[in-house]
Structure 1
């Protein structure tokens, strides 16, 4: 009996990728809540101040971005899978089936996060329009996988990675 290598395993369909992303969203919400709680405890409850408008400490959002980024990068580098990818039996690999390099993982993360730059439209278009722009951007990002022969999202094309079904 011959074993199938990662580069020979079937590409991950879009629906499976999106369901795994929902699972990861739950993990990210939990991480954000824990970091928020710890920061509130450390600052004695002064992380958010209110004087007519809510003000968040300048360092809080960058800290959350670093922690969430570390979750994805560490997961991809450690075993090629996030918590959401495990139950759906998918793994991110290089195009040749090998493990991601740290540079690839970082590039994949930055490319996947690019639609978040559309939040900068909020002052001119409003928060709702900016959020819709991000959603449409990510739909295009992942939707590309529906027409790509190897089912890669745009961030996979940029980072030269692929999602493969395993097992």
Structure 2
């Protein structure tokens, strides 16, 4: 009886990668950053397409555009927020602000930006990480389209229907 109780606490190993080809399946497709997207820059305002997290600091409203960067709004009149511009941060999903320093992910790095003047943003520091982490999708047990370095740097992943993917994690 003790062996039965002990064995019931064990979990089976996850399934091995299936044989290929598999036909049409749900899986992850890499999102590639172009050279102009990879550079950090404050550019003109643009429409929200895939909004993510929202952050309020002082009179500013910051809205993440998933894997692209941060929309910046003057929110001094909350009934009429005014778009100031877009902070281009390829791969961005996270942000925090303290003492006029914006901390955000850019590609696989963590950057600290001086935002005391939104028209003159400059990088204070960068904690560099290796790019290998972006080369695999965020969840295990899924098919994915193998990254192709000729298409650029992987800045994120999107779930979609894949046709005969060659990679599985």
TM-score (norm 2): 0.24
What TM-score, normalized to structure 1?
A: 0.24
Looking at CA atoms only, which structure, 1 or 2, has the larger radius of gyration?
Answer: 2
Higher helix share: 1
Higher share of residues assigned strand = 2
